[in-house]
Structure 1
């Protein structure tokens, strides 16, 4: 009996040891297939095999690379498909000045060249204000011959694309005095937009010059170079959530203007625009329900869109 017990213990030890070795080999293997390069301006996750595509990501107004990585679970599937992912620390922009476009485009090109990434299959996307940056910088790059990193596709995730609408909805938020976070954000927005662009009632041209889309005048001049570029517009138009938590109507939501942009571009002959509304997918990494989240993007479908 004693000998039998000893044999069983030895078998258990051998089995556990083999299992642990397999897990260690798997972890090591994953690290070997994906190089992490952490810089002040960005984080790069690069496959050690041939890179099939490059995905450049911009976070929302306060988000840097670490925030993107936490909220947008893209790295595992990117690694499996040999896609390099650049998570940018460039943020806090609702529009881009010309000098900022030049500087950012040059920076992105340098990152791609220095890390020997392919320039023929690049995609750019962003959440919230990061989506605004993605569209504006993509349009700029495509229109400038000095840059050879023109994206094949660009996507936004519930982005505030219409600065006029943002100004007017901020006025309404302050007037209704319903949600403290909304009041604080709206107060800041009115000050920021007003001090830089004036008010849209008197200075609509300033807003058209900076904005991705101006619904009231149907202006899309900042997207005119992207007519042959694939565009995806993600949003989660959960009107009940926004009514309960912010007391806003559908016409004040990002989702409304994103849908209107998709319709406007279709009318103007943009053949590669996809409007993608979602339902009950918006959750933050801490489990909080919020339709304004990275999580509304189906990562598997996004990768398929990039590779096909």
Structure 2
């Protein structure tokens, strides 16, 4: 399987966790169960702008010097456009705002929860941390612009957790080589994972969030984000959510490597032709481009990927 599988051929190789053989499930389950739910996850699940309490959040953040230092550094970065320096966590939180601060602290807590395994390099964990924060931020902007956020409040959390399966691969006895993180698109990644491991990162991500006991539809969406990329989907509310999530997660990866990329350029790649077709069918292409042109979105993407 040296060639990159595409479309239906690759989709046929994707399997639900329950149909994997017992040996494969046991092997990967032992890694999945080592990872505990991050303690600050409560700020990503169940918190909203309406019940946002900066002082309470600041107290939690200040208990962790790494995260508190990062929050202050991001708030003071030129990318955020400050005219005077910020010295305290609570002021940094107010300046950055609820959505961005949750993306940052949640992704850092994920990095810490995953970092207990010595096999995983700090560089790889940092990449996944930035990817998670960028994906969550992207999803927030797209779903709000499409007026889909209220009906899909868990979508940003799905985007945040979508890539955790790649870390579980890195925890294995045969972690991915350095060129794995430079694979340019989802079909290429999935093909590589099937060839090397007989399992894919979406399957592992989905299993992890089930191990954590997160409620539906989070697990179903996490392990099905490949579908809009590989298969033609009907225009249903659930498929619209899944398709916009797939765009958010995959575009976040490309954004981190090529910050000037636009959704149009991204979707113009052959690997994402089916995703583009699904977005067009669902009437989402114009909305995506409008959101991307927002200065607020670009500013928050720069900060999330910091």
Shared fold per TM-score greater than 0.5: no
Which entry has the higher C-alpha Rg, 1 or 2? 1
With normalisation by structure 2, the TM-score equals 0.30
With normalisation by structure 1, the TM-score equals 0.30
More strand by share: 1
More helix by share: 2
